[in-house]
């Protein structure tokens, strides 16, 4: 089956929105430093662009999780595949995600990170599919709310492909 990508959010729209979120975070945390926690691999492009737009001191770290259960339905129980290098103790942490779908992965991850004693913990996601939410998670910064469609680009993949697209697109099959 041939597949093609329909543009949902252009490169310019995405970049402009990331700039706005960076400004908002800089305001909200004025006088403090933020520690961004990037959830690999999907959150990587977003976190790099976001970090460039934040004007207060920034540090960051990466972690990688895999969810148990089937490929298409996340169970929410996640295994840490790569843990953070730095402790979170007393830091103003912001978890940076590519997309919040059911919310299961994120709520499980938050529980783990909360136990490490950060001063605060916020959530920032580039995309949100609110229709799909199963577990209640409080997202502090959302780039775009999108309909329930499978999207790729800007770090998001379909079978490990398309992460490098500089825009957000929907995978369509001919
Ligand atoms: P959930 O919120 O626990 O259901 O899982 C969210 C994770 O599923 C995200 O971090 C993505 O890795 C993946 N995911 C959900 N929706 C999409 C999509 O539309 N495209 C690509 N990955 C997605
Ligand atoms: Mg993810």
Asked, for residue 157, whether it belongs to a domain, the answer is no
107 lines ligand 1 (CB under 6 A): no
> Which residues, 6+ apart, have CB-to-CB distance to 172 below 8 Å?
3, 4, 5, 6
Q: How confident is the model at residue 174 (pLDDT cuts 50, 70, 90)?
A: confident
**Cα(123)–Cα(100) distance, rounded to whole angstroms?**
10
The reply to whether 140 belongs to the active site is no
Order across the sheet with 92-100: list the strands: 78-82, 58-67, 34-40, 92-100, 120-128, 141-145
Tokens of 110: 């938050």
Total domains in the chain come to: 1
Asked, for residue 122, whether it belongs to a domain, the answer is yes
Is residue 142 pLDDT above 60, yes or no? yes
The vertex-39 CA angle with 38 and 45, nearest 5°, equals: 65
Ligand in closest contact with the CA of 131: 1
Is residue 46 pLDDT above 60, yes or no? yes
CATH of the domain at 77: 3.40.50.2020
100 lines ligand 1 (CB under 6 A): yes
State which ligand 1 atom lies nearest to the alpha carbon of 105: 3
125 lines ligand 1 (CB under 6 A): no
pLDDT digits (tens, 9 = 90+) for 95-127: 999 999 999 889 989 999 999 999 999 999 999
pTM value is 0.94
pLDDT digits (tens, 9 = 90+) for 1-36: 789 999 999 999 999 999 999 999 999 999 999 999
Is residue 146 pLDDT above 90, yes or no? yes
Domain range for 114 is 10-149
Asked, for residue 84, whether it belongs to a domain, the answer is yes
């Amino acid at each position: 089956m041939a597949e093609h990508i329909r543009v949902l959010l252009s490169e310019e729209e995405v970049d402009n929105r990331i700039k706005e979120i960076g400004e908002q975070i800089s305001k909200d945390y004025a006088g403090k430093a933020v520690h961004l926690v990037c959830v690999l691999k999907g959150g990587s492009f977003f976190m790099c662009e976001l970090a460039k737009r934040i004007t207060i001191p920034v540090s960051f770290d990466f972690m990688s999780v895999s969810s148990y259960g089937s490929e298409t339905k996340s169970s929410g129980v996640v295994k840490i595949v790569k843990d953070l290098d730095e402790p979170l103790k007393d830091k103003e942490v912001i978890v940076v995600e590519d997309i919040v779908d059911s919310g299961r992965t994120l709520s499980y991850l938050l529980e783990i990170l909360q136990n490490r004693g950060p001063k605060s913990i916020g959530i920032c996601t580039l995309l949100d599919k609110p229709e799909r939410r199963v577990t209640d998670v409080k997202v502090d910064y959302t780039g775009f709310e999108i309909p329930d469609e499978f999207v790729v680009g800007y770090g998001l993949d379909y079978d490990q492909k398309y992460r490098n697209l500089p825009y957000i697109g929907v995978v369509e099959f001919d």
